[in-house]
Chain A
Amino acid sequence: MKKRMKILLNGIFKENPVLILALGCCSVLAVSVSVTGGLGMGAALTFVLVCSNVVISLLRNVIPSKVRIPCYIVVIATFVTLVEMLMEAYLKSLYDSLGVFLSLIVVNCIVLGRAEMFASKNGVVDSFFDGLGMGIGYTMVIVGMSVVRELFGAGTLLGVRIIPEGYQLGILTQAPGGFFLFGCAIAILVAAMAKKGKKFEPKMGCDGNCAACGTACGGRKEEAK
């Protein structure tokens, strides 16, 4: 049980997918304009991540390694479609506000990265906790960003007005504010780690090849040379 707890906390803090591994930043930057959107996106991604991790872990001995990435994509896309249909039926306004980013969970680096790096090598229960931890880690970052952006950018929190009209920094809810805030968040993390005496160098994306994160990415680079 202690090991499971460690896997769970690993995703939330030590290997936080967004801040430390710099994966899946597209949706974090785009959706974090409102807290409701952030919560919805976090929940959707966590659901997909947990389900796909469990299924891929169950199938890890059946899937031939040469076609593993298309197989993973099919599994993930199935769960994404499921979430899309459920959300369109029961939470229509959230579905509209998330827009295309809900479908784009399919190509989210975190989901494919965990399938490749963890679920394809570990047991079902471990994979479940890994998915849950990574999902919670992602949700925490996206909700944290959206609290700052909604509170200072629009002056509201979950739609309730907190800062009176005319005192908000509108730029925070727009694209430049997203980039700026995300940069600051990582810088604060680096500074905090440095204070604790730990060195941490933030990663620079993953060459855009989300599907082949981790091990496969290294192979691809060698091939390119």
Chain B
Amino acid sequence: MSKIFLILFTLVFTENYVLVQFLGICPFLGVSQKLSSCVGMSGAVIFVMTLASAVTWGIYEGVMVAFHLEFMRTIIFILVIAALVQLVEITLKKYMPPLYKALGVYLPLITTNCAVLAVTILNIDESYNFLESCVSGFSAGVGFSLALILFCGVRKSLERAKPPKCFEGLPISLVAAAFTSLTFMGFTGMAERVFGG
């Protein structure tokens, strides 16, 4: 049980996908301008990451290992994720229109988000079992959301700031991201202390 909490804590704080491992930087910089779109994107990412972790784990252990297709991992996983996102989009549109309205726009944006592919590959590399994979997908998503929503607030203050001319726009956002990432370094070592990892 403590391993589950360790995964949850590490992926949300100490090994945060965006701020520490540099995964999913494009949406982090692209979508973080408005809080409403941050929340929508976060919901979609958590949902797809958890689902993708569960499905790819099943396909890897159930089909690919049995037929010795481990080398096809990259191709199969990206296609599974792409198909999955399409499927989720269609299902939501038909059966849960309010949820589709909230997440729908962001779903196609995550098909090729590197964080989603990374979490499925890392689950296999870490040889997690089914439950651990699902938790790892979920907590990676939560970590992504935390970074995105926190940075959205930073972005709001940046709008009022007056940096040197050449730093306006993207450069100053990157510098702000550096400081946000610096604060996350404060969590280093905490997971092992708390959960005795």
Q: How far is the CA of A109 from the CA of B114 in the complex (A)?
A: 9
**Which residues of the other chain, B, contact A184 by a CB distance below 8 angstroms?**
171, 175
Q: What mask results when residues 156 to 197 of chain B are scored 1 for a CB within 8 Å of chain A, else 0? A: 000000001111111111110111011011000000000000
B171 pairs with A183, CB closer than 8 A: yes
Interface membership of A64, Cβ < 8 A? no
Contacts A179-B175, A209-B108 given; does A25 touch B26 at CB 8 Å: yes
B105 pairs with A187, CB closer than 8 A: no
Interface membership of A15, Cβ < 8 A? no
Interface membership of A70, Cβ < 8 A? yes
Contacts A29-B25, A109-B26, A176-B182 given; does A104 touch B31 at CB 8 Å: no
B109 pairs with A187, CB closer than 8 A: no
Interface residue total, chain A, C-beta cutoff 8 A: 55
Please give the distance in Å from A154's CB to the nearest CB on chain B: 17
Contacts A25-B26, A100-B118, A179-B177 given; does A204 touch B172 at CB 8 Å: no
Q: How far is the CA of A103 from the CA of B78 in the complex (A)?
A: 10
Interface residue total, chain B, C-beta cutoff 8 A: 55
Q: How far is the CA of A78 from the CA of B112 in the complex (A)?
A: 16
Residue of chain B at shortest CB distance from A177: B178
Q: How far is the CA of A23 from the CA of B26 in the complex (A)?
A: 8
Interface membership of A58, Cβ < 8 A? no
B114 pairs with A70, CB closer than 8 A: no
Interface membership of B103, Cβ < 8 A? no
**Which residues of the other chain, B, contact A186 by a CB distance below 8 angstroms?**
170-171, 174
State the majority secondary structure of interface residues on B. Answer: helix
**Which residues of the other chain, A, contact B26 by a CB distance below 8 angstroms?**
23, 25-26, 109, 205-208, 210
Interface membership of A4, Cβ < 8 A? no
Interface membership of B21, Cβ < 8 A? yes
A26 pairs with B181, CB closer than 8 A: no
Q: Determine which of A109, A187, A211 lies in contact with B171 in the assembled complex, contact meaning CB atoms within 8 Å.
A: A187
Select the stretch in A37-45, A80-88, A117-125, A135-143 that faces chain B: A80-88
Interface membership of B111, Cβ < 8 A? yes
Residue of chain B at shortest CB distance from A105: B74
Contacts A70-B82, A175-B19, A209-B108 given; does A202 touch B169 at CB 8 Å: yes
Chain B interface (Cβ < 8 Å from any Cβ of A): 19-31, 33, 41, 71-75, 78-79, 82, 105, 108-114, 117-118, 121-122, 125, 164-175, 177-179, 181-182, 184-185
A-B contact pairs, 22 of them (CB 8 A): A22-B170, A26-B24, A27-B22, A29-B22, A74-B79, A77-B78, A77-B79, A100-B118, A100-B121, A103-B121, A107-B113, A177-B178, A186-B170, A191-B166, A194-B165, A204-B30, A205-B26, A205-B29, A205-B30, A206-B26, A211-B111, A220-B109
Chain A interface (Cβ < 8 Å from any Cβ of B): 22-23, 25-27, 29-30, 70, 73-74, 77-78, 80-81, 84-85, 100, 103-104, 106-109, 112, 171, 174-180, 182-184, 186-188, 190-191, 194, 201-212, 220, 224
Q: A80-B74, A179-B177, A208-B24 are in contact. List 16 more A-B contacts (CB 8 A).
A: A22-B29, A29-B25, A73-B112, A74-B75, A78-B75, A81-B71, A104-B23, A104-B114, A106-B74, A107-B117, A174-B185, A183-B170, A187-B171, A190-B168, A209-B109, A220-B109
